[in-house]
Structures are given as C-alpha cells and as structure tokens.
C-alpha cells in the first residue's frame, strides 16, 4: 500500500464512512464541476494501492476535509484528526416537480449535470434539493412560488412535519399525520384539497427542512 492509499483509507475510516459513501461524496463535488462520478470500485482500487494519481484527488481531499498535499503522500505521517465541520454553505440544485417525483427509490444524492440553477444554502448536509412549490394545497405553510429545501437523506416520518412524497409517480408536498388513519394532509385555505388515504404506493422523497420566498 502506498502513502496515498494508506492516507485515504485512514481518513475515510476516521470518519466512519464506507467506500461507497466516500465515492458518493466525491461524486457530488465532481458533478458540481461538470465532471464524471466516481464509483465505489474506484475507491477500493485506490485504497489497494492500484492508483498513484487519481483524477479526482482534489475532490477526494475536499470530501475528506484534509489537505491535498498531505493526502497525496507528502508532509507528516500522522492520520488527520477528524473534527466535524460547522454548518457551511452548500450549493443546492433547483429541480422540477417532475424530477423530484423520480427520486424516492434511491438513497443517492441528486447529481444533475444540467441543473438550471444552484442555490447557496447554509447547511451541513449535501444531499439536498430545492423545489418551487406548485399549487395551493400547502398555502398555509408555503404559498405557491415559495422555494422549499428538501433533505433527501431524511425520510424518517415524524407526525406534523412536512415532506415531499411520490404519489402515483408525481411529487406532492404534504404534512405527515400518523393517524389513525395515517395520511398525507394538505394545509390549504381551499377546502377542496383533501388528505391522501390510504397510502398504498406512497414513497417519501425527503423532509422539507426550510422554506423561503426570497430565492
């Protein structure tokens, strides 16, 4: 094992990440720069000493939050001390409701190569998307045109919290109610909007963690 392979493995293990998780985080950064994704197999090959100079070295160092010079095998030999970084600014893709409706069956982050717009958001997660609210079914919470930030990594349902769901192949923004009966509840000034029950075929896309009308 060469210095690069050893340091990548130590930095990854210090954070408690799998090779697949590291590949995902590197891929997020590369996609944001219009570059190709990195597979778990590539990280494994790197850690086995099979790659001396990976094309994604910069994004690798950024994902692991270590100095690129240290990671490449130069400098001291001590493994990095992992300190959780405070919340920072992440770039969040603004996507359509059609795109959001296709995200429920994957735990991978949304990695668009052609996002129309990226929004700066102060947060420590990078698995986020932004959506502009359509319709009036949640206008008591977020009127039409409001932008909501959705955490794709948070799908644990909590009574009274707001989520984007996939229902009949489409994205829908509703409040989760545990019941009985369990239901997706609108928060609307229009009484024509009714809760969705039963919940056969409903999948969670992610939890709405923020809203803003200024974006």
* Domain 3-71, CATH class in plain words: mainly alpha
Q: Which residues contact 124 (CB under 8 A, 6 or more apart)?
A: 84, 85, 86, 87, 88, 90
Q: Which residues contact 21 (CB under 8 A, 6 or more apart)?
A: none
Q: Give which of 97, 95, 91, 94 is closest to 165, Cα–Cα.
A: 97
Q: Which pTM was predicted?
A: 0.58
> 10-22: per-residue pLDDT in tens?
888 887 888 998 9
> 18-45: per-residue pLDDT in tens?
899 899 889 888 888 788 889 899 999 9
Q: Which residue intervals of the chain bear CATH 1.10.260.40?
A: 3-71
Between 14 and 191, name the one with better pLDDT: 191
Look up residue 184 and give its two tokens. Answer: 């997706």
Q: Which residue intervals of the chain bear CATH 2.10.109.10?
A: 88-212
Tell me, what DSSP letter sits at residue 14?
Answer: H
Superfamily holding 88-212: Umud Fragment, subunit A (2.10.109.10)
């Amino acid at each position: 094992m060469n210095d690069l392979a050893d340091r990548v493995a130590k930095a990854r293990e210090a954070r408690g990440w799998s090779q697949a998780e590291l590949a995902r985080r590197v891929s997020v950064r590369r996609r944001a720069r219009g570059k190709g994704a990195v597979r778990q197999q590539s990280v494994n090959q790197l850690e086995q000493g099979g790659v001396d100079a990976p094309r994604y070295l910069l994004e690798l160092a950024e994902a692991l939050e270590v100095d690129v010079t240290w990671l490449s095998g130069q400098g001291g030999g001590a493994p990095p001390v992992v300190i959780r970084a405070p919340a920072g600014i992440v770039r969040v893709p603004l996507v359509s409701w059609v795109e959001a409706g296709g995200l429920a069956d994957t735990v991978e982050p949304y990695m668009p190569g052609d996002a129309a717009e990226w929004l700066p958001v102060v947060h420590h997660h990078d698995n986020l998307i932004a959506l502009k609210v359509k319709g009036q079914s949640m206008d008591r919470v977020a009127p039409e045109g409001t932008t909501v930030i959705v955490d794709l990594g948070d799908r644990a349902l909590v009574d009274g919290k707001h989520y984007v769901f996939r229902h009949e192949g489409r994205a829908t923004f509703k409040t989760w109610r545990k019941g009985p009966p369990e239901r997706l509840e609108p928060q609307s000034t229009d009484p024509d909007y009714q809760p969705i029950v039963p919940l056969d075929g409903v999948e969670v896309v992610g939890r709405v963690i923020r809203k803003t009308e200024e974006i």
